[in-house]
Structure 1
Amino acid sequence: MNTIKYIFLFIFVFQLNAQKSDFSTITFEKADRIALEYKNEKLTNLPELAYKLTSDLTTDVERFRAIFKWVCSNVANDYYLYSKNMRKRQRYKNDSVRLKDWNDEFKKVIFQKLRRNNRTICTGYAYLIKELANLANIDCEIVHGFAKTSTINIETLDVPNHSWNAVKLSGKWYLCDPTWASGIPDPESAQFEFQFNDGFFLSDPNIFAVNHFPVDEKWSLLNDDQPSFNTFLDAPIIYNKAYTYFSNHNAPKKLHTDIRKNEHVIFKLQLLKSVKKEDVNLLIDTTFTSKKIHPESISIKDQSLTIDYTFDTTGYYDVHLYVKDDLISTYTVEVNK
């Protein structure tokens, strides 16, 4: 019995820490080069594309990397399609028959756009990753759920609005988000800029959970540490660049903090790579002012970045954390007497 408990505990801990650093000895240079060699390849023959991307690679993680890199570098995020889908899903959310009819109809549109124009939304990205991975004999699943960005109104976040992937490599499940890894859509112009973000490839489940909430809780990969939906909604806003610097966001736990004058607010994040103290800044906005400051109390210890900041004036503040020129996270702080 003790042996069984030990094995279970080992598997639990082993799975909990599934992230890209498990493959620190692999550079992915060859996989990325192959993905680049087949740039602009058509989607008319997925088995052939999967073979071209993976046949010269020796490990599953490299094969999956080539697939992920290719998809994120060749398929554009269609913001117009996304916004149209969300409007319809909100409209029909209380009518299961019309919602199903819309979903069935829209799936055809998504895959037509994907195949013909290399444009899609999150569902198409997740589908393509899964299909190509499965063709390469790699277990991969589509995960449906909720996602938070700075533009999402959480008051209306009552139906799933995002899809991503879980992939099994070396006996462990990992998370990735090809939609957010691929680049940045402009909501106003509906134009898309390819800008690969490596942080969404085999992301640490801890930071992933700050702005991803799966419908099926097992895909959080956090086991008993799965946050509640309300905890997810209350969490701070983190941005895509956070994934390139950090593996977890520890504090504050909520977007909004109420404090009294001269009280401290602790900002704490777990580092993924080295950060210099002088590169860390806070942008503090009020209704009338905006100032960027370098906090005096910053510590970096045991791969953890901690900022201790005191608000000495009453008011309502928007606080934005930056590393260099990269926006990492946003909070609101109300300071009372």
Structure 2
Amino acid sequence: MKSIFPLILLISVLCQGQRGDFSKIDFGKADSIALAHKGEGLRNLPILIHRLTASLETDVEKFRAIYTWVATNIENDYHAYLRTIKKRKKHADDRAAFLEWNESFTPKVFEKLVEQRKTACSGYAFLVREMAKIAGLNCKIIDGYGRTPTLILDEESIPNHAWNAIELDGKWYLVDATWSAGRVMFDEGEPRFEHDYFDGYFLADPALFIKNHYPLENKWTLLPNPPTFNQFLQGPIVYKEAFASNIVPVQPDEMFLETTKSRPIEFILETPKDINNENIILTLNNGNSDRSVHPVSTYEKRQLRLKHVFDKTGKYDVHIQLNDTIVATYVVKVKRK
């Protein structure tokens, strides 16, 4: 039976913000405090929160210290993730049952987190919320779908991810401590977590966040006109490097494209500033080899337009690269005419 989750309609629009709202805030002090308390236990959260936040003046700095501490101290447990997915499947067709189960399940996850200092995404989201609440901040757990280059989703997929929304100065912001914490590597088939803190998912731009996070409740996209679940599934693959530079792929809005030989194809990225043409390349992979090209680029009103003309037919993975890192991938089928 098809999951009913993607059919949830937009109910309301929340006042949304992004990290640029705090461009004058230096998070260095908050990060230093978080790192100074690295390795502290979770059995007395109020004491830990006091140590992390007492000397910080603004709510955003307090939350930053909490977020950085969680992302640099908790290990992502791949086996716990698999167990969670298995349990979620039992409620895949009943949203009410899923939410009821989820409310009872996350505290159990937290009990193991205290003991083992490792968890899946639900545990990260639960810990961030509980720590934020103790600090007097309004924080929500958001359940939904996380889309990665190696994780293929379709309309039958069940919710597979959890993150947070935090209210600061009357606006709501999106964060993902799980994906900020590091990555799971596989050694001879066995998962191994590698800490690699990445703050691109801290107070991320909702227009970019929606490219790989789709909430069960549309209001938590924080967008006035969010895409449908199907549109989310059909979009290009967006990598974490896009978050590092706040680069939002705008057009095309679908991953799989068709064009004809000698006809220009255009990619439009929203960027906070102009980018040196030499730092942008397209890597074209036809299944046999890679070829890098510099597209014709123009920049106007925060939009970077990249044009390329294919001189050969075939099917290509087109990787948009900035400073030698991939920010987005499309698949282009080039026909003769």
Q: In structure 1, how many angstroms separate the alpha carbons of the residues matched to 2:58 and 2:293? A: 46
317-326 or 85-94, larger mean C-alpha shift: 85-94
The amino acid of 1:148's aligned partner reads: R
Q: SS where residue 190 of structure 1 aligns?
A: strand
Alignment of 1:16-31 (within 5 A): 16=16, 18-31=17-30
Contact kept? 1:204, 1:247, Cα under 8 Å:
no
Q: Deviations over 1:34-83 (max 9, x none)?
A: 00110011111111111111110000000000000110111111112212
Partner of 1:192: 193
Question: Structure 1: how far apart are the matches of 2:107 and 2:57?
Answer: 35
Structure 2 unmatched ranges of 5 or more:
1-12
Q: d(CA) in 1 for partners of 2:152 and 2:33?
A: 40
Separation of aligned partners in 1, 2:108 and 2:176: 21
CA distance in 2, matches of 1:246, 1:95: 36
Q: Which runs of 5+ in 1 are unaligned?
A: 1-11
Structure having greater relative contact order (Cα 8 Å, sep ≥ 6): 2
Q: What residue is the counterpart of 2:169 in the other structure? A: 170
Distance, in Å, in 1 between the alignment partners of 2:44 and 2:60 is 22
| CA distance, structure 1, for counterparts of residue 18 and residue 96 of structure 2 | 40
Q: Name the SS for the 2:173 alignment partner.
A: strand
Count of aligned residue pairs for this structure pair: 322
Look up the match of 2:269. 269
Contact 1:241 1:326 in 2 (8 A): yes
Secondary structure of 1:291's aligned partner: strand
Cα distance in 2 between the residues matched to 1:101 and 1:144: 13
Of residues 195-204 and 271-280 in structure 1, the stretch that sits farther from structure 2 once superposed is 271-280
Which AA in structure 1 matches 2:248? N
- The whole-number CA distance in structure 1 between the counterparts of 2:107 and 2:63 is 26
What TM-score do you get using the length of structure 2 for normalisation? 0.88
- Structure 1 residues 209-239: Cα deviation after superposition (integer angstroms, max 9, x where no partner): 111111111111102x111111101000001
Q: Assess if the C-alpha contact under 8 Å between 1:88 and 1:102 holds in 2.
A: no
The verdict on how the C-alpha distance between 1:97 and 1:243 changes in structure 2, with shifts beyond 3 A counting, is closer
Could you tell me how far apart the structure 2 residues matched to 1:300 and 1:193 are? Answer: 37
Mapped to 1, the partners of 2:249 and 2:30 lie a distance apart of 30
The alignment partner of 2:288 has SS state of: coil
Q: What aligned pairs does 1:129-144 form with structure 2 within 5 A after superposition?
A: 129-144=128-143
Which structure features the higher share of helix residues? 1
Structure 1 residues 157 and 48, CA gap change in structure 2 (3 angstroms): farther
Kindly tell me: are residues 167 and 247 of structure 1, through their superposed partners in 2, closer, same or farther at Cα, counting changes over 3 Å? farther
Q: Is the 8 A contact 2:236 2:253 kept in 1?
A: yes
Matching residue of 1:249: 249
Does the 8 Å contact 1:277/1:300 carry over to 2?
Answer: no
> How high is the sequence identity, in percent, across the aligned residues?
39
SS in 2 for 1:15: coil
Map residues 99-248 of structure 1 onto 2, 5 A cutoff: 107=106, 110-155=109-154, 158-187=157-186, 188-223=189-224, 225-248=225-248
1:169/1:261 CA distance change after superposition, 3 Å:
same
* Counterpart in the other structure of 1:60: 59
Structure 1 residues 99, 33: CA separation in 2 closer, same or farther (over 3 Å shift)? closer
User: Could you say if the C-alpha distance between residues 191 and 106 of structure 1 is closer, same or farther in structure 2, counting changes exceeding 3 Å?
Assistant: farther
User: Per-residue CA shift, 1:87-135, capped at 9, x if unaligned?
Assistant: 4434664699998998689646632431112111111111111111110
Pairwise CA RMSD of aligned residues? 2.4
Match of 2:5 in 1: none
Q: Residues 66 and 97 (structure 1 numbering): CA distance in 2 closer, same or farther, change over 3 Å? A: closer
- Distance (Å, rounded) in 2 between the aligned partners of 1:94 and 1:120: 25
